[in-house]
């Protein structure tokens, strides 16, 4: 666990579904083009043609021509979700022509809504793009050809309203689509569209009503301006019990008071509220009815400053969180806590009084799911802190694939509650099958919902099904077979008759139950995305990083790993096939749960298990509000085979930070093992440049006995993720060494990060290394092997470990979309005596052999530089190579893997350098980060000129082992899906293949044997600019698309114009993040810049930091504290902003949305280049013009 990771994860991203919103560049600020007339700026990214003929008009609109082959469709990357309006002027040019606005559409337009204006039939029509179903129609008054119509659609959750020329003509409710792209569509002729515009509110709540003033959606938040003496209220119909409501807010007036309300009523006269009162300098939590103060918090509150406010209501407890800093985020701990039982249920609202307030990112606690179109068919369904709360009812979403994998974390709420997942139901929710948990019977049941027949049942396979327990339920339906897994173990498998369906659902009966993390995939979509590993572990969604708490207990292997400061969990019976479970250790009152370990307390040494056995986890507790996180070691334990966990020790950690309860010393990543030789338990903890050793006799009380490191021992980079264990040398139990492993990061000196180890002696109190200070032994010489940890409690005395396949140069930058991160194959560790000393060797575990499906064999072949490829015709993307090669006269031998046209990854042996190497210079995608491409080597000696290699290849990784595991190189790769060829070669002479086997490997997660391409947005676009050619430095991916010139990179990437200027007027549209809502990114405009962009004036816009900064960047860096201007602003992702920079002499003015926000003087730079920048994601520029003054 590294500080850089914490900084990344705590950077203050937005939590609600991000709703894009456009802005129009005011005509007065439009920059002249080189050709003369200024092209009109487009308020949303350009619609890109999917079908038909499209021409951009001079005013920024579109002219579409549809013919008899079908409609003309164009889609923008602009998204419209819970609440907003989308509008354009539509002019059908003939009686047969129909013009439509498309919204909430899939990236390719295959699904979504369209509202069509049809003068020939004198009607408007709302319909579903997928099947053409008409949802609603209305007459079109005064219909005639070639007349322009102002067409607008407003959405508020399922409520869809259509206005034409300012008059409401149609209103209906439909639940099919929640979010998606906007676009334009023409049928039956030619249609002209004016520039489309969009406004929206960033929220995941629906059913809004407003009163008491004006509420205006803008690119900088939902602005409330209360009527004099009144309170402006925005009230949602969403009702909740236990809930959280969060918003970012900005007071425009020092007298203004902003409030969040929970559990309130339709008149907002009952319930609870928290006020932000700048005049009083406080937050106030109160019960609305009676105006009863429940708690206050004194704090300085300023106008025109962004704050994040969150109120939580859980049973009788109310908590208020207050974030004032987005660069170093605070607000983790509540500033107000109170008890009140007056109100248990109610609505959510935001209010403003005594002045104007803008709200952004208004988010309520809700279900985490990838499904759209949820509809409550019966019963009561309310968002909840635990996901979605269901009471005696059914809730469904459209899902038409019969072969599927569905999962959810289900919590029965009462002793007789039943809760389940509904598969293959009819569109109205009837019929199908239900995989159900019954708390009253301790039963897992598969129910035929048409007949009411219980097709199969079993008791809880790991623990009893009881009220309040959370169970991961997974149902797999393939053909006529349905399997049900509970707690990671298959509970049921049975045959069924119905193989098709139209809906998926959640069902609650006999009381209340809770559902969270509900995901459904067709088998064709389950772990089949590009780059998704075939047999390496990864999560369906979320982030996979440091392994934590690896152990074996009662026939199960447990894999815990990091997922943004939480412990994710999976179990296996064979180290190869893993079943995911719910998050084991979530964030808690004491902070985040960072990297650590777990052990089996088989004899109840701790006294936690009532004389039985159980699991104890030791984790790094990191509190975001405290200096340096005040890292300490805390304990959690499980009595039910790791399915539920309890914290131990209350507010007191097991091992305090060495600097004290308020110190920020580096102290993390505990690893505990049993030291049998000294009859004690042993813990190693990283201190940054040293390792601390602790011992215990009861697993709860720990005493530091020594440390190792400091000074000359400390290699570049932070020491973290240590492991410590004894191993016999060459299997001789009388010759044992202790091995201390660790990972170092994140510095360039180690190519981002490295896996290292020491060998030595342990006397029960101290470690004495065999190596001299400064000697570095690499456990894996690859770029991508980090935070490796070994399993505790393997019954056969093996030492098996696995690591995170990544590097701190690009830890979370892989271009994989909704999932991120994978783990290595499990490897068995041994020690062997070599001419250079005792060395660590690692071999993939024999359990992997079970994945082999077929084998291609070559042997006794001579191969020279001009020989034919002995592997011609062999293809694959997931396989294992075993090779024994005699070098002969060859100076280099190797394999070109994952080949296709100009793509390949080379794994080979350099006989002159005596090195195993992996070269991914041409492996595929690499421009998402700076230091990815290149060659990595490991020292490796041959025996009698013979090279032995074992290579594991997967969709996005290569693991190469040589010399019986004494050399190892692990690398990520991102080849195209068609890169499935392979070759063997020899250079400099002739080599001899003694034996070569290529074993195809089966998938451990996929249910189909293919990779499915992701749905893609239409390609194309243009960049309107007079900047000329742009040179990219230091690296990055810049392309032209719907939003203009878009850059993607994990750090700073500059697109530098050859043009230079002294005084200039620079105007542009800028766009942050997107097109996916979870895509982040900040941007900067550079001027008077050096040729590489390292020195420049820089206008930085960062939605995560909620700020716009003007800085004088020097040597590629800038100090936030030395910014020339710092303007808090509710800037957000997925939104287009017009920006103007006017620089004359030493005066710099900046305008946003037509308003001057910065006016300063500075003399740091006099002239230089103009450049565009992206940082940490994606940013785009359009209509970018610079005029020299």
Cβ neighbour number for residue 812 with a 10 Å cutoff: 16
Do 780 and 737 lie in one domain? The reply is yes
pLDDT given at position 5: 29
Distance between CA atoms of residues 619 and 591, nearest Å: 11
**Residues contacting residue 452 through CB under 8 Å, at least 6 positions apart:** none
Do 832 and 863 lie in one domain? The reply is no
DSSP state string for 403-448: SEEEEEEEEE-STT-EEEEEEEE-TTS-SSEEEEEETTTTEEEEEE
Contact present, 702 and 696 (Cβ < 8 Å) = yes
Distance between CA atoms of residues 156 and 152, nearest Å: 13
Our measurement of the distance from residue 407's CA atom to the centroid of its chain's CA atoms, rounded to an integer in Å, reads 19
CATH of the domain at 416: 2.60.120.560
Q: For the chain, how many structural domains are there in total?
A: 6
Residue 803: phi and psi, rounded to 5, are -130, 170
Distance between CA atoms of residues 1119 and 1113, nearest Å: 8
User: Alpha-carbon dihedral of residues 172, 173, 176, 177, nearest 10 degrees?
Assistant: 80
Whether residue 535 lies inside any domain: the answer is no
User: Alpha-carbon dihedral of residues 278, 281, 284, 288, nearest 10 degrees?
Assistant: -50
Peptide bond between residue 1034 and the one before it cis (omega within 30 degrees of 0): yes
Q: Domain end: 201, 223, 252, which one?
A: 201
Distance between CA atoms of residues 277 and 254, nearest Å: 9
Do 887 and 809 lie in one domain? The reply is no
Distance between CA atoms of residues 820 and 1077, nearest Å: 16
pLDDT given at position 18: 24
In the structure, how many helices (H) and strands (E) does the chain have?
A: 1, 87
CATH of the domain at 749: 2.115.10.20
Do 307 and 355 lie in one domain? The reply is yes
Catalytic pick from 403, 487, 546, 1104?
546
**Residues contacting residue 329 through CB under 8 Å, at least 6 positions apart:** 10, 11, 12, 323, 624
Angle at 77 between CA 74 and CA 82, to 5 degrees: 110
Residue 342 DSSP code: S
Do 333 and 259 lie in one domain? The reply is yes
pLDDT given at position 17: 34
Our measurement of the distance from residue 528's CA atom to the centroid of its chain's CA atoms, rounded to an integer in Å, reads 18
Distance between CA atoms of residues 580 and 74, nearest Å: 40
Contact present, 1131 and 1072 (Cβ < 8 Å) = yes
Distance between CA atoms of residues 309 and 301, nearest Å: 12
Residue 210 buriedness (CB in 10 A; 0-12 / 13-18 / 19+): middle
Contact present, 1092 and 1168 (Cβ < 8 Å) = no
Whether residue 608 lies inside any domain: the answer is yes
pLDDT given at position 200: 95
Do 1092 and 1150 lie in one domain? The reply is yes
Q: Domain end: 312, 342, 364, which one?
A: 364
Distance between CA atoms of residues 685 and 694, nearest Å: 8
The enclosing H or E element of 78 equals strand 72-80
Do 155 and 274 lie in one domain? The reply is no
For 824, the 3-state DSSP assignment is coil
User: How many residues are listed for the chain in this entry?
Assistant: 1189
Distance between CA atoms of residues 262 and 405, nearest Å: 36
Distance between CA atoms of residues 484 and 936, nearest Å: 44
Q: What is the pLDDT of residues 1099-1155, one digit of tens each?
A: 999 999 999 999 999 999 989 999 999 999 999 999 999 999 999 999 999 999 999
The enclosing H or E element of 1031 equals strand 1030-1033
Residue 58 DSSP code: T
Residue 418 buriedness (CB in 10 A; 0-12 / 13-18 / 19+): buried
**1170 lies in which domain range?**
3-18+1021-1188
Cβ neighbour number for residue 341 with a 10 Å cutoff: 8
Distance between CA atoms of residues 22 and 199, nearest Å: 6
Angle at 75 between CA 70 and CA 76, to 5 degrees: 165
Do 740 and 830 lie in one domain? The reply is yes
Whether residue 37 lies inside any domain: the answer is no
* Radius of gyration from C-alpha coordinates of the chain: 31
Cβ neighbour number for residue 401 with a 10 Å cutoff: 17
Smallest CA-to-CA distance from 695 within 764, 600, 759, 631 is with: 764
Distance between CA atoms of residues 542 and 553, nearest Å: 26
Sign of CA dihedral 1072, 1075, 1081, 1085: negative
Residue 678: phi and psi, rounded to 5, are -115, 15
Q: Which residues of the chain have pLDDT under 70?
A: 1-42
Do 818 and 951 lie in one domain? The reply is no
Residue 871 DSSP code: T
Do 216 and 268 lie in one domain? The reply is yes
Distance between CA atoms of residues 1103 and 714, nearest Å: 38
Peptide bond between residue 746 and the one before it cis (omega within 30 degrees of 0): yes
- Which stretches of 1073-1146 are assigned E, i.e. beta strand? 1082-1089, 1096-1102, 1107-1113, 1125-1128, 1136-1144
Whether residue 528 lies inside any domain: the answer is no
Contact present, 247 and 354 (Cβ < 8 Å) = no
Distance between CA atoms of residues 437 and 442, nearest Å: 8
Do 963 and 1059 lie in one domain? The reply is no
Whether residue 565 lies inside any domain: the answer is yes
User: How much is the pTM?
Assistant: 0.94
Buried b (16+ CB within 10 A) or exposed e, 880-902: bbebebbbbebebbbbbbbbeee
Smallest CA-to-CA distance from 315 within 517, 468, 134, 86 is with: 468
Do 284 and 222 lie in one domain? The reply is yes
Our measurement of the distance from residue 152's CA atom to the centroid of its chain's CA atoms, rounded to an integer in Å, reads 34
Distance between CA atoms of residues 148 and 248, nearest Å: 39
Whether residue 725 lies inside any domain: the answer is yes
Task: Tell me whether residue 1183 is one of the annotated catalytic residues.
Answer: no
Whether residue 551 lies inside any domain: the answer is yes
For 916, the 3-state DSSP assignment is strand
**Beta bridge pairs of residue 828:** 800, 843
Contact present, 937 and 943 (Cβ < 8 Å) = no
Provide, for the chain, the percentages of residues in helix, strand and coil under a 3-state DSSP scheme, each rounded to the nearest 5. 5, 55, 40
Kind of pairing, strands 167-173 and 113-118? unpaired
Residue 496 DSSP code: -
Q: Domain end: 938, 972, 1001, which one?
A: 1001
Contact present, 303 and 253 (Cβ < 8 Å) = yes
Cβ neighbour number for residue 91 with a 10 Å cutoff: 21
**Beta bridge pairs of residue 292:** 287
Distance between CA atoms of residues 939 and 898, nearest Å: 24
pLDDT given at position 145: 84
**Beta bridge pairs of residue 900:** 903
Whether residue 730 lies inside any domain: the answer is yes
Buried b (16+ CB within 10 A) or exposed e, 773-809: eeeebbbbbbbbbbbbbbbbbbeeeebbbbbbbbbbb
pLDDT given at position 582: 98
């Amino acid at each position: 666990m590294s500080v850089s990771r914490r900084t990344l994860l705590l950077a203050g991203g937005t939590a609600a579904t991000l709703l894009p919103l456009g802005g129009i560049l005011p005509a007065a600020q439009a920059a002249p083009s080189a050709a003369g007339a200024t092209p009109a700026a487009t308020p949303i990214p350009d619609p890109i043609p999917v079908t038909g003929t499209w021409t951009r008009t001079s005013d920024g609109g579109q002219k579409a021509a549809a013919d008899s082959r079908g409609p003309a469709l164009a889609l923008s990357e602009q998204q419209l979700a819970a609440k907003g309006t989308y509008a354009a002027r539509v002019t059908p040019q003939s009686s047969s022509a129909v013009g439509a606005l498309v919204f909430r559409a899939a990236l390719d337009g295959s699904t979504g809504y369209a509202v069509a204006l049809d003068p020939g039939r004198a009607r408007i029509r709302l319909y579903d793009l997928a099947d053409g179903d008409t949802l609603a129609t209305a007459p079109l008054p005064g219909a005639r050809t070639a007349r322009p119509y102002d067409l607008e659609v407003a959405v508020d959750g399922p409520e869809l309203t259509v206005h034409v020329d300012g008059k409401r003509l149609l209103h209906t409710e439909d639940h099919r689509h929640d979010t998606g792209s906007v676009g334009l569509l023409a049928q039956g002729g030619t249609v002209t569209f004016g520039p489309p515009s969009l406004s929206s509110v960033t929220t995941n709540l629906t059913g809004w009503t407003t009163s008491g003033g004006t509420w205006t959606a803008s690119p900088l938040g939902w602005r409330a301006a209360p009527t004099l003496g009144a309170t402006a209220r925005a009230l949602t119909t969403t009702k909740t019990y236990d809930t959280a409501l969060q918003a970012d807010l900005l007071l425009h007036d020092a007298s203004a008071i902003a409030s969040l309300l929970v559990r309130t009523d339709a008149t907002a006269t009952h319930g609870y509220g928290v006020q932000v009162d700048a005049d009083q300098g406080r937050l106030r939590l109160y019960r609305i009815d009676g105006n009863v103060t429940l708690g206050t918090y004194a704090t300085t509150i300023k106008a025109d400053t962004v704050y994040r406010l969150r109120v939580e209501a859980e049973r009788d407890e109310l908590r208020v969180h207050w974030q004032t800093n987005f660069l170093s985020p605070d607000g983790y701990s509540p500033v107000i806590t109170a008890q009140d039982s007056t109100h248990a249920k109610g609505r959510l609202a935001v209010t403003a009084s005594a002045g104007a307030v803008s709200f952004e990112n208004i988010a309520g606690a809700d279900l985490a799911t990838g499904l759209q179109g949820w509809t409550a068919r019966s019963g009561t369904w309310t968002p909840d802190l635990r996901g979605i709360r269901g009471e005696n009812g059914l809730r469904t979403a459209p899902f038409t694939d019969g072969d599927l994998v569905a999962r959810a974390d289900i919590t029965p709420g009462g002793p007789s509650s039943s809760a389940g997942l509904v598969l293959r139901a009819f569109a109205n929710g009837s019929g199908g099958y239900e995989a159900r948990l019954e708390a009253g019977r301790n039963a897992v049941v598969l129910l035929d919902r048409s007949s009411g027949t219980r097709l199969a049942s079993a008791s809880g396979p790991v623990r009893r099904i009881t009220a309040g327990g959370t169970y991961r339920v997974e149902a797999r339906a393939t053909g006529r077979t349905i399997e049900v897994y509970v707690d990671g173990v298959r509970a049921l498998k049975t045959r069924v008759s119905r193989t098709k369906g139209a809906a998926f659902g959640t069902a609650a009966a006999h009381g209340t139950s809770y559902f969270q993390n509900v995901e459904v995939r067709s088998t064709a979509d389950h772990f089949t995305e590009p780059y998704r590993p075939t047999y390496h572990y990864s999560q369906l969604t979320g982030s996979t990083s440091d392994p934590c708490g690896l152990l074996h207990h009662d026939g199960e292997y447990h894999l815990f790993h990091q997922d943004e400061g939480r412990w994710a969990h999976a179990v296996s019976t064979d180290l190869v096939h893993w079943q995911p479970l719910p998050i084991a250790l979530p964030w808690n009152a004491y902070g985040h749960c960072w990297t650590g370990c777990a052990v089996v307390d088989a004899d109840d040494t701790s006294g936690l298990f009532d004389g039985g056995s159980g699991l104890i986890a030791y984790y790094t507790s990191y509190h975001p509000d405290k200096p340096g996180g005040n890292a300490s070691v805390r304990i959690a334990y499980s009595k039910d085979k790791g399915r539920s966990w309890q914290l131990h020790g209350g507010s007191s950690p097991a091992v305090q930070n060495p600097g004290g309860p308020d110190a920020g010393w580096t102290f993390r990543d505990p690893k505990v093992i049993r030291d049998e030789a000294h009859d004690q338990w042993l813990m190693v903890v990283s201190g940054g440049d040293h390792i601390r050793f602790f011992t215990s006799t009861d697993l709860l009380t720990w005493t530091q006995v020594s440390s190792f490191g400091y000074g000359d021992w400390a290699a570049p980079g932070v020491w973290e993720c240590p492991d410590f264990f004894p191993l016999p040398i060459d299997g001789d139990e009388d010759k044992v060494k202790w091995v201390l492993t660790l990972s170092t990061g994140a510095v360039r000196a180690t190519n981002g990060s490295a896996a290292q180890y020491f060998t030595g002696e342990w006397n029960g109190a101290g470690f004495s290394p065999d190596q001299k200070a400064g000697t570095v032994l690499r456990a894996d010489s690859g770029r991508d092997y980090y935070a490796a940890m070994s399993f505790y409690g393997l019954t056969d005395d093996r030492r098996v470990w696995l690591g995170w396949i990544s590097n701190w140069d690009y830890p979370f930058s892989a271009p994989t979309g909704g999932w991120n991160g994978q783990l290595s194959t499990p490897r068995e560790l041994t020690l062997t005596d070599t001419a250079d000393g005792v060395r660590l060797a690692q071999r993939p575990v024999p359990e992997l052999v079970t994945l082999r499906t077929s084998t291609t064999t070559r042997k006794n072949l001579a191969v020279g530089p001009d020989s034919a490829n002995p592997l011609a015709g062999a293809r694959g993307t997931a396989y294992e190579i075993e090779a024994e090669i005699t070098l002969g006269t060859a100076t280099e031998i190797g394999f070109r893997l994952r080949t296709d046209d100009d793509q390949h990854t080379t794994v080979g042996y350099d006989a002159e350098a005596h090195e195993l190497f992996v070269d991914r210079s041409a492996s595929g995608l690499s421009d998402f980060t700076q230091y990815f491409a290149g060659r990595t080597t490991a020292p490796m000696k041959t025996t009698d000129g013979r090279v032995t290699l074992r290579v594991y290849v997967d969709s996005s990784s290569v693991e190469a082992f040589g010399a019986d595991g004494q050399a190892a190189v692990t690398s990520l790769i991102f080849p195209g899906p068609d890169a499935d060829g392979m070759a063997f070669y020899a250079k400099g002479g002739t080599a001899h293949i003694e034996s070569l086997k290529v074993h195809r490997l089966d998938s451990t997660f996929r249910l189909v044997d293919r990779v499915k391409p992701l749905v893609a947005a239409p390609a194309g676009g243009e960049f309107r600019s007079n900047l000329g050619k742009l040179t990219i430095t230091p690296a990055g991916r810049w392309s032209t698309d719907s939003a203009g010139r878009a850059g993607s990179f994990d750090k700073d990437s500059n697109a530098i114009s050859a043009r230079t200027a002294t005084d200039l007027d620079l105007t542009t549209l800028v766009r942050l993040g997107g097109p996916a809502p979870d895509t982040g990114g900040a941007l900067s405009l550079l001027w008077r810049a050096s040729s590489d962009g390292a020195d420049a004036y820089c206008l930085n816009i960062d939605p995560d930091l909620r700020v716009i900064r003007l800085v004088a960047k020097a040597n590629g860096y800038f100090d936030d504290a030395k910014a020339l201007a710092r303007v808090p602003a509710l800037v957000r992702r997925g939104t287009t902003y017009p920006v103007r920079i006017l620089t004359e002499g030493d005066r710099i003015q900046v305008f946003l949305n037509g308003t001057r926000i910065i006016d300063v003087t500075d003399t740091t730079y006099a002239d230089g280049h103009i450049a565009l920048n992206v940082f940490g994601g994606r940013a785009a520029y359009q209509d970018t013009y610079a005029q020299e003054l």
